[in-house]
Amino acid sequence: MSTATASAAAAATVPTPLARVLNEYRAGAAQGTGGPQEHAARERAALALEQVGWPSTRDEQWRYANLRALERVASFQPVSRVAPTATAAAALMDLPPPLPGFARLVFLDGIRHGPYALPAGVRSVAPQGAHAAQWSAAQRLGWLCEMFATDTAALEVAGEAALELLFVTSEASVERAVYPRLQLELAAGSRLQLVERHLGAPSGPAFVACNISIELARGALLTHYRTQQCGAHVSFTDSLDVRVADEAQYRVRQAALGAHDARTSARVRLAGHEARLLWHAIAVGRGEQVHDTTLQVLHAARATGSEQVFRGIADERARLAFSGHVHIDATAPGSEARQSLRGLIEGPGAEIDLRPRLEISIDEVRATHGATTGRLDENLLFYLLARGLDPATARALLKWAFLGDVLREIALPALRTEVERLAAGQLPDVLAVGAVT
Amino acid sequence: MNAPLLEIRDLAAQVGGQPVLRGISLSVGRGEVHAIMGPNGSGKSTLAHVLAGKPGYEITAGSVRFDGHDLLALAPEERARAGLFLGFQYPVEIPGVNNAYLLKAAANAARRERGLPELDAFEFLALVRGKMALMQIDESFLGRGVNEGFSGGEKKRNEILQMLVLEPRLALLDETDSGLDIDALKVVAHGVNSLRAADRSIVLVTHYQRLLEHIVPDFVHVLVRGRIAHSGDRSLALELERRGYDWIGEPAAA
């Protein structure tokens, strides 16, 4: 309790974001949600955040995040657990069509909504407390979610399954915060196709902080599609922590498209021999949007492999950043790592920062990285114009082609079409289908 | 309709302040095939680029009329839709954009311009299949990226395929023969010859006479230092083959 008193005193004199968060946490914690175990977990999270401190742009891992948006968050208090209001229900009217073969779970403002109909091979288990989570300094906002989240989807997968999780942010979240939380365990040899989508467009500022922890046991295969398509008033952050055991494979196809500002803080530990990570991501920003991703990959066992492919397009005054840090530990001989990061600047005031980083503690590894940022190639553009395509279509086509390295990894046609449509934004409709190989 | 399809008068252009074309005049009548030859750096490719509207060239003098209209006032895509086709010396690779899409988009842009209905997927396939066979291009190519991983010869055959699909009124073929072995050259020439028609003109830009054995021109012009130094019939090409370019002096300034 002495910690709480000290923070409250500090907050009275210096209203830092951290002090605000802790104040709001104390106020909310007094109302009490969950049992003593959950309370203890929240306390640990609050302590951890207090110790690591609020992120600063002076910190390499937070240099490109939109921390000012974070400072302007109206309230860190979660949307209360009440029956959906009419406006909340309205948010559910507008959901994308179901993906064929996928079971769908809906979370409204971070809280499980409607029947929890799990497909064969997936069962609900007791959530682990925050003591299980160990968010890194680059993922420190993960503690925020642990402090405030009121619901957790904890799932265990055995066998083969396809699951779609929709995280919907409703009108009830205006000037409030939303804390979706997912814990996922894949049993040995299991295979899961997981679609994780964040959507909803509240009419005023809302803050979303999502935590996802995943364990892949030996030989498991997870294909994880992630799309962030929130409305323009949402400040979005997600913390993702993944541990990959022997011969297991974790594939990510991520699309950051929406929100006012978005930050992904991911860490993947290749903990067992021949564990693999394939991370393919696109980000398309317009207006004043900020999309920032930090990915830390630790190769900790022999013959592990990782590949990172990032393609970002910044239009108008958008800012994109992708920081990919690969550490090949001394315990990981025979490992391979590849990074291909590319940015396309379209707008006069746009900015893209790509930072590949390799840290290698052993000789017998193969690691390559490339990072380039530039504008559309005028020679390619002229070729298309010389075939009679109008300039807007030609530019759009080249932007498509640029994203193609990632888009073609989306093996679900319905989802790919939807991501293409969203990414297209202002692009002509004619391009929505079939232009990209 | 006896007016020439293309009428170039005293055309001068520069790149980065350096004059490259220094007063070119050339008339290309309907149905005619002209070859423009010349040593490296004489301005042959620049002429093709300027006519197609490639950015980066400054027109300092002269005029170009295409079917009576001011060609230089048109944007590159407008020139293409009006029926001007540039076959590139170095066709670019565009990974991620598939050939079928580009061909169909290009064909439909041209059709819209002519007031014709756009092709649907079936009509497009029907149109393109026969032309692909003519150019000895496998159908699997339609789903591949534009020129992605193509050999030099495949890229050139693809250029001619695009030309066959677009059926231009004026084809400017920039060094279409460069980098081709004799078999590929024959395929390309066969494709070009299949398009020869009374209402279609062809301008071949080439360094070597070899192409002209397969696509026989009506007129041959020699470009030296940005001017047409000599014009003649097919025998001029043969003479160039025999004697090289050195004997042709620079023309006196007009």
Within this chain, do residues A388 and A372 fall inside the same structural domain, yes or no? no
Within this chain, do residues A328 and A437 fall inside the same structural domain, yes or no? no
Within this chain, do residues A162 and A80 fall inside the same structural domain, yes or no? yes
A342/chain B closest Cα distance in angstroms:
14
Contact A165, A159 (CB under 8 A): no
Give dist(CA B236, CA B102) in Å, integer: 38
Give dist(CA A321, CA A314) in Å, integer: 10
Place of tokens 């079971």: A103
Select from B101, B125, B140 the residue whose CB has the most chain A CBs within 10 Å, as the one to mutate to test that interface. B101
Model pLDDT for residues B175-209, shown as the tens digit of each residue:
999 889 999 999 999 999 999 999 999 999 998 88
Domain boundary among A326, A344, A377: A377
CA-nearest of A112, A70, A57 to A237 is A70
Within 10 angstroms of residue A19's Cβ, the number of other Cβ atoms is 19
CB atoms A386 and B86 under 8 Å: yes
Within this chain, do residues A293 and A413 fall inside the same structural domain, yes or no? no
Query: How many domains is chain A built from?
Result: 2
Interface of B with A in 84-113 (CB under 8 A): 85-86, 88, 91-92, 94-98, 100-102, 105-106, 109-110, 113
CA A363 to chain centre: 33
Within this chain, do residues A404 and A286 fall inside the same structural domain, yes or no? no
Domain boundary among A353, A377, A401: A377
CA-nearest of B57, B45, B52 to B17 is B57
CA-nearest of A336, A337, A326 to A359 is A326
Mean pLDDT calculated for residue range B53-80: 96
3-state secondary structure of A291: strand
Structural domain of residue A370, as residue ranges?
A: 60-377
Within this chain, do residues A315 and A392 fall inside the same structural domain, yes or no? no
What strand order describes the sheet that includes B170-174?
B84-87, B170-174, B201-205, B33-37, B219-224, B227-232
Q: What pLDDT score does A347 carry?
A: 85
Beta bridge partners of A306: A277, A337
Q: What pLDDT score does A73 carry?
A: 87
Which of A382, A389, A403 faces B106 most closely, judged by CB atoms? Answer: A389
Domain boundaries, chain B: 6-38+76-243
pTM equals 0.85
CB atoms B96 and A404 under 8 Å: yes
Q: Where are the alpha helices (DSSP H) in chain B?
A: 44-52, 76-81, 99-113, 121-134, 152-166, 182-194, 210-214, 234-243
Give dist(CA B195, CA A141) in Å, integer: 66
Establish if A48 belongs to a structural domain: no
Using left for φ > 0, alpha for ψ between -120 and 50, and beta otherwise, residue B180 falls in beta
B76 touches chain A (CB under 8 A): yes
Within this chain, do residues A398 and A366 fall inside the same structural domain, yes or no? no
Which of A379, A390, A400 faces B77 most closely, judged by CB atoms? Answer: A390
Per-residue tokens: B169:
């009124």
Q: What pLDDT score does A82 carry?
A: 60
In terms of CA atoms, which chain A residue is nearest residue B89?
A383
Establish if A3 belongs to a structural domain: no
Within this chain, do residues A383 and A346 fall inside the same structural domain, yes or no? no
Establish if A32 belongs to a structural domain: no
Within this chain, do residues A283 and A317 fall inside the same structural domain, yes or no? yes
Model pLDDT for residues B155-184, shown as the tens digit of each residue:
999 999 999 999 999 999 999 998 899 999
Within this chain, do residues A316 and A347 fall inside the same structural domain, yes or no? yes
Within this chain, do residues A373 and A383 fall inside the same structural domain, yes or no? no
End-to-end CA distance of chain A: 60
Establish if A17 belongs to a structural domain: no
Per-residue tokens: B117:
């209905």
Q: What pLDDT score does A132 carry?
A: 67
User: What pLDDT tens digit does each residue of chain A (437 aa) get?
Assistant: 344 444 444 444 546 889 999 999 988 765 556 788 888 889 999 999 999 999 998 998 999 988 888 888 888 989 876 655 666 677 777 888 999 999 999 999 998 887 778 999 999 998 886 556 789 999 999 999 999 998 889 999 999 999 999 999 999 899 999 999 999 999 999 999 999 999 999 999 999 999 999 999 999 999 999 999 999 999 999 999 999 999 999 999 999 999 999 999 999 999 999 999 999 999 999 999 999 999 999 999 999 999 999 999 999 999 999 999 999 999 999 999 999 999 999 888 999 999 999 999 999 899 999 999 999 999 999 999 999 999 988 988 898 889 988 988 999 988 988 888 788 764 443 344 445 54
Q: What pLDDT score does A117 carry?
A: 82
Give dist(CA A341, CA A356) in Å, integer: 7
Give dist(CA A75, CA A79) in Å, integer: 10
Q: What pLDDT score does A432 carry?
A: 43
- State ipTM: 0.95
- Residues of chain B with Cβ-Cβ distance to A404 below 8 Å are 95-97
Instruction: Output DSSP code: residue A436.
Output: B
Strands B170-174 and B84-87: parallel
CATH topology of domain B6-38+76-243: Rossmann fold (3.40.50)
Give dist(CA B209, CA B229) in Å, integer: 17
Domain boundary among A377, A401, A422: A377
Within this chain, do residues A250 and A199 fall inside the same structural domain, yes or no? yes
Establish if A149 belongs to a structural domain: yes
Q: What pLDDT score does A129 carry?
A: 67
CB atoms A385 and B106 under 8 Å: no
Instruction: Output DSSP code: residue A434.
Output: T
- Chain A interface residues (partner B, CB cutoff 8 A): 377-380, 382-391, 393-394, 397-398, 400-405, 430, 434-437
